[in-house]
Structure 1
Amino acid sequence: MYIYARLVTKRNFGGIIFLTVVWALLMFQVKVLRTDGISFVIAKQVSLGDVLLLHFRRLQFSAVLAFRVLCLMVDVRNLLLFPDKHHSITDRVVSYTRSYMVYGTNLRFKSELYMRFKLVQFIRLYMCSRLFIEVDTPIISSMPEAASSAPFVAFHKALKKQVYLRISPELCLKRILVSGFDAIFEIGKSFRNESLSVRHYSEFTSFEFYKVGRNYFWGIAFLVDLLQFLCLKLAVLASAVAIQINYFCSAGFDYLSLPEVIVKYTEYSMQQVLSVSFMISRLLKLGFNYDYFQMTLVQLWLLYFENYIQRYVVYPTFVLYFPIQDSPLARSRDLLTAERYELYVAGIEIANGFTELNDAVEQQARLVEQSVCTSKPLNTVFIDSLKFGMPSATGCGVGIDRLLMVIFSKSNIRDVIVFPEVRG
């Protein structure tokens, strides 16, 4: 068998040399004897990090995965300073800027990278088995989205106008629903030109799906089934890395409205939480200064949840019924709330979904109001598509990076991104 493998450790005992190499998702040892002739000479000269071409056979009685070399050649030399041990890259900035070195020498990180790629593959497998069609929508748009997030701005030389990187594929996907497709999904990149944190990154991978003729209850059940499918698939692959699948593989999903989740994680009674004055007093005590008297009770709940409760929501919890003011694209449930949910796990929001608003008149009114607040132009193309008629549907977006944070128990989103940017 011939393979290309990277040398990570080397031990020379005079008449015998042991080379530890990484190949694919395996790390194993190759023994080279003085009697191996030219291979032994090459083994003495190789340096850590070199890519070797190996031909070998398995040592039958070895207690570890070890091989006897039959032929050894150097395919390419490593010209960078290589750590003396494959696990000794401890500087966080170096591990980000030279992540190829980390992946190439550390099996745990390499396995996580492999499982990230497989996760996307498993999503496609699941969605296609449910007769969803994968679509792709533009990343560059001539019109900024109505969301409050700031977009990346560029200038298109050929078109001689300003363009924007998408914040979300949502509006384009809804236009595909208008075109007559009833079960679609997209996996792709979105961008937000905002501050960075351990849970926020300017470039992120999202997965969104839409199904005609269904509501948010169906979307929740579908998402639960998908997550359990993904974790069971990843569990089969997990060898060098520990993954958290217990979150999703049990029936322990909670389904709580905003006031219910506040009551669960505090000592407050439901009667207290339903009081506007009480919620304002709690927010003031936490030091948040807002124009509370311009906010509805549901908005006060959301503000309190995001700033105090969310970090304590460890086990999978669907938080239901968000304020209409914060859900401009969702169908209303009543005068104050929308048919919207978010999934939280380990204190992290990983999914957001709702029953889609398809009333063109109401949608236009909401987007006009949002356009005034954000000082962004109105997306007339999307509104015109709704006027043509979009069937009732549900949609959901899942953050792939945040989902991987939960699965791999990572506290920083950069640890699940392949080549993250760093300050400086």
Structure 2
Amino acid sequence: MSDNILEDMNELMIQRRDKLSELRKEKENAFAEKYKVTHHAAEVESNFAELEEKEVRLAGRLMAIRTHGKASFADLVDMSGKVQLYVKQNNIGEDRYEFFQDLDLGDVVGITGTVFKTNRGQISIRVASFELLTKSLRPLPEKFHGLKDKDIRYRQRYLDLIVNPDVKETFVIRSKIIKEMRRYLEDKGFLEVETPMMHPIAGGATARPFVTHHNALDMDLYLRIAPELYLKKLIVGGFEKVFEINRNFRNEGMSYKHNPEFTTMELYQAQADYHDMMELTENLISYLAAEVLDTQVVEYEETEIDFTAPWDRITMVDAIKKYAKVDFSAIESAEEAYELAASVGVKPEPGLSYGEVINEVFEERVEEKLIQPTFIMDYPIEVSPLAKKMDEDPRFTYRFEAFVYGREIANAFSELNDPEEQKRRFEKQVEMREAGDEEAQMMDYDFIRALEYGMPPTGGLGIGIDRLIMFLTNSSSIRDVILFPTMRPESNE
């Protein structure tokens, strides 16, 4: 902001505080305790025939005031929407009318009045009385330009919600999506559970964790990167279908599709495999789109995305063959894999395995081309330490990821339930960690012990709720669908 704008803002704030001082001198309560509300703005609009010339009581924020001599029109905004107020001196008295004219945009008021329609056909409320409920001490952004600065919008989400109604609608849709997701899973027999947010061992995913310290126990704990291992322990314990919707925390880079804390839905089902998880994923998401948006075809950044089930299915190797024009199924060694990668301009770091090279080629040459919902199946074992290996080719696992518009939104396995094999996989991860890979998983002996009691064949699925909501609300950044995204602290200046 320029110095002149800051000076204007400060002057306006001073004026509002002066008004507050005057109100207090006159014993006028500028911060009321409550106001009895009988209706909301949207009800007045939708039920006009029923409410015409009936008394209503509303509360909301003044977002516009237009004065015409001894009468004024104003816009009152509440959670449901906007309604026009008609405030006339003859109806409320000269003193109260002067008081109304002295109100500022952003002030919260309660009004009592009757519903009517103006000569121009505008549904309005003829105000009989009003109360100042909260004095706003900061001016709102200028209405013709609004609040455009994204940094301010994300930091001051409360202001963003006040002046940008479409932002509020995004979060209403988010709430509906999560509500319907719960309903769908519960109707399918899944039980919602809660597992720890602080873990003694960071596990369940390949990621760098946040570390905290518990003073009473004098031990470090990790904010969870995934609930996976705890949820699978519940399957061992006899639950057959469980799910959890909650936050995960990963100490990684930030981008338009990454926030350090994010919301996921993770579920596990006994006697199921990754094919069952594919069917569940496509049916769940197509249901959410239809139920919340009333369509399964949505527009995202000027591209139509069709979530209608069934979705395309293709193995990782075949996807590379289709989009990058190289065939990894014809080779077996890491050396040959490096040569194939180089032939399409991919240069993996030295020392990677056959499967790790394949995964890098996929990420660099294929992901961005997966626009319509697609299941990429059969991931290399090296990048899937918790997935069951394939009987027909032990280099790969029964795992898939779902992609939309080049971005992963879901990850699922036929879960590894052989405790000895799981221990070997963990040991490999520990070697990688000791070699400097901070994202490699740790050894979890309690999880191995749980598997030794016997986990039935199980399908597991995780869906990134934030990314899914980005697509269903046409939001270009993950920060647009998280109410309070992680930001750098504001400078003192």
TM > 0.5 between the two? yes
> Contact between 1:146 and 1:378, CA under 8 Å: does it hold in 2?
no
SS of residue matched to 1:423: coil
SS of corresponding position for 2:366: helix
Between stretches 1-10 and 310-319, larger displacement belongs to 1-10
| 1:3 and 2:58 correspond | yes
1:35 aligns with 2:90: yes
**Which residue is 2:397 aligned to?**
338
2:34 alignment partner in structure 1: none
Q: 2:109 matched to which residue of 1?
A: 52
Task: Look up the equivalent residue of 1:393 and give its one-letter code.
Answer: T
Letter of the structure 2 residue corresponding to residue 350 of structure 1: I
The 5 A counterparts of 1:221-300 are 221-236=279-294, 247-251=305-309, 253-266=311-324, 268=325, 271=327, 274=330, 277=336, 280-283=339-342, 286=345, 288-291=347-350, 294-296=352-354, 298-300=355-357
* Separation (CA, whole Å) in 1 of partners of 2:300 and 2:408: 18
2:303 corresponds to 1:216:
no
Cα shift readout 1:70-111 (whole Å, capped 9, x = no counterpart): 332211011123112186111111101111111123211001
2:151 aligned residue: 93
> Aligned equivalents of 1:29 and 1:86: distance in 2?
19
- CA 1:243–1:315 in structure 2 vs 1: closer, same or farther (change >3 Å)? closer
Contact 1:283 1:304 in 2 (8 A): no
Report the CA distance between 1:289 and its aligned residue. Answer: 3.9
Which of 18, 31, 38 matches 2:73? 18
- Runs of 4+ residues over 6 Å off in structure 1: 241-246
What residue in structure 1 maps to residue 16 of structure 2?
none
Correspondence for 1:104: 162
Q: Of residues 243, 251, 254 in structure 2, which corresponds to 1:193?
A: 251
Which fold has the larger relative contact order, with Cα–Cα distance below 8 Å and residues 6 or more apart in sequence?
Answer: 1
Residue in 1 that maps onto 2:236:
178
- Answering whether residue 411 of structure 2 is matched by residue 352 of structure 1, we say yes
Give the 3 Å change call, closer, same or farther, for CA 29–317 of structure 1 in structure 2: same
* Structure 1 residue 42: Cα displacement: 3.5
Aligned equivalents of 2:218, 2:397: Cα separation in 1: 40
Letter in 1 for 2:353: M
Corresponding position of 2:185: 127
Q: CA RMSD in A?
A: 2.6
Report Cα offsets for 1:121-159 as digits up to 9, x if no partner.
111111111111100000011222264311111110111
Other-structure match for 2:362: 305
Partner Cα separation in structure 2 for residue 137 and residue 123 of structure 1: 19
1:103–1:113 CA contact under 8 A, matched in 2: no
Deviation at 1:32, TM superposition (A): 1.4
Report the Cα offset of residue 17 of structure 1.
Answer: 1.6
Question: Taking structure 1 as reference, are residues 80 and 236 closer, same or farther at Cα in structure 2, changes over 3 Å only?
Answer: farther
TM-score for both structures, normalised by structure 2: 0.79
Does the 8 Å CA contact 1:253/1:316 hold for their aligned counterparts?
yes
TM-score by length of 1: 0.91
Residue in structure 2 matched with residue 319 of structure 1 by the alignment: 376
Quick one: which of 445, 449, 464 aligns to 1:399? Answer: 464
| Residue segments in structure 1 that go unaligned for 5+ positions in a row | none
In the TM superposition, 1:161-172 aligns within 5 A as 161-172=219-230
Give the Å deviation of 1:248: 4.7
Task: State the alpha-carbon separation in 1 of the partners of residues 374 and 133 from structure 2.
Answer: 51
Partner of 1:361: 420
